[in-house]
Amino acid sequence: MKICMPVDQINGLESEIFANFRGAPALLVIDSDSRECVGIDAADGACSATPVVIDAIVCSGGIGRGMFNGLRSRGIRVFNTDAITVADALTELADGRLEEVNEVACCGGGEHGHEESHEHAHDHGDGGHACCGGSSGEGGGGCGCSH
């Protein structure tokens, strides 16, 4: 499975997961079988940097409603984690400890255990929701992407 995660810096499996998908400075695509990692610069925005050929996204806080809906329409699964590093999130996913996000339930920031601050904090312990990460959410647009 090809898994994409937003990261602070590209540092292989020890990369720290960035709290907000759309605001991430980089993305890391990991092959869950081989553990091979490919880093992607997301300086121009994760929306345009998200690879086409992925099976899942694992994030720890926010993802725009528009991006979420676009990913799901392409069959890409979205999972939420409290893990700090990519390696820890991969272990949680492999062990079946991550629940798939079924809908984006709110707008604002996300609570995720990292030090970044957000306008709003939300509990992701409900197993089916993720925050859309600082987007206005009007019209269901989330990050405003048309994916």
In a domain, 46, yes or no: yes
In a domain, 145, yes or no: no
What pLDDT sits at residue 26? Answer: 94
Q: How many domains does the chain have?
A: 1
In a domain, 78, yes or no: yes
Phi, psi of 3 (to 5 degrees): -120, 135
Strand partners, 30: 3, 37
Model pLDDT for residues 37-75, shown as the tens digit of each residue: 999 998 877 777 777 789 999 998 778 788 888 889 999
In a domain, 146, yes or no: no
Provide the residue range defining the domain that includes 130. 2-140
CATH code where residue 88 lies: 3.30.420.130
Model pLDDT for residues 104-121, shown as the tens digit of each residue: 754 444 344 333 333 333
CA dist 18 and 116 (Å) reads 9
